[in-house]
Amino acid sequence: MLRSTSLVLRPVLRKMSVSSTRGGDAKFEGKVAVVTASTDGIGYAIAERLLRDGAKVMVSSRKERNVERAVERLREGGGRDVGGVVCHVGKEEDRRTLLQETVRRFGGLDILVSNAAVNPAVGDTTTVEESAWDKILDVNVKCTALLVKEALPYLRKRGNASIVIVSSIGGFMPFSALGPYSTSKTALFGLTKALATELAPAIRVNCIAPGIIKTKFSSAIWQNDVIAAEAIKNIPMGRLGEAEECAGAVAFLCSEDASYITGETIVISGGMPSRL
């Protein structure tokens, strides 16, 4: 049985807190957002930013403990409404529960951010087992499409909805030893284009392609001084990215400032080579 948590946040001041800019920008006031894989890293930063800008946000992850911790951290940061649902995006029941619980608690759905992804294989593309290919394409690509499909009835009810898919710079320039993962991220660019065409004008669909961002996923790079220095040589801005910089791009794409943008990908890579 899946459990859910919904908390009404109380204002608490702290540096870079959700409440720190509450008075300055409430562009998502009255909006409801779901962010998958949002208990850490880029997903968490996106959830925090949307809360800061006035949205009600449902976070999710596969592990209940992680969900509870993320909701508590967001509650401590201040803001308005946040909830959490345990969700493995590869399971239809979990996806439906995530969406249904969001609508039950917050009254609707306006923003869907698909951030969940897996990478069970490292090595040459031609040596990756079929089972790993199946898992990567299933979770990273197919389940993204299915989540959008299942969210459509709720998004259409509200009108002027927005979907953001989180891909990767690896979709443009494949990462070494991560061929299948990079391939799945390339597919997300195509999925974004297809969905944007089909769902316009009521629902806008866009994508972000982060470069090397300082998260747990990329810790093997930035926690090793030698590897980090080598990686930074290929980044014109001379540093790794921060999760909050991805969150800002997502907030823009979901806002009225991007009202005439759909089917596009924003690259957040510090100048690393991109585009096919």
Q: Which positions are catalytic? A: 181
The secondary structure of 179-227 as a DSSP string is HHHHHHHHHHHHHHHHHHHHHTTTEEEEEEEE-SBSSSTTHHHHTSHHH
Strands, E, within the chain: which ranges?
A: 4-8, 32-35, 56-61, 81-86, 111-114, 161-166, 203-210, 265-268
**Letter string b/e over residues 160-170, b meaning 16 or more CB atoms within 10 A of that residue's CB:** ebbbbbbbbbb
CB 9 within 8 A of CB 54: no
Crossing angle between the packed helical segments 64-76 and 41-52, to the nearest 10 degrees: 40
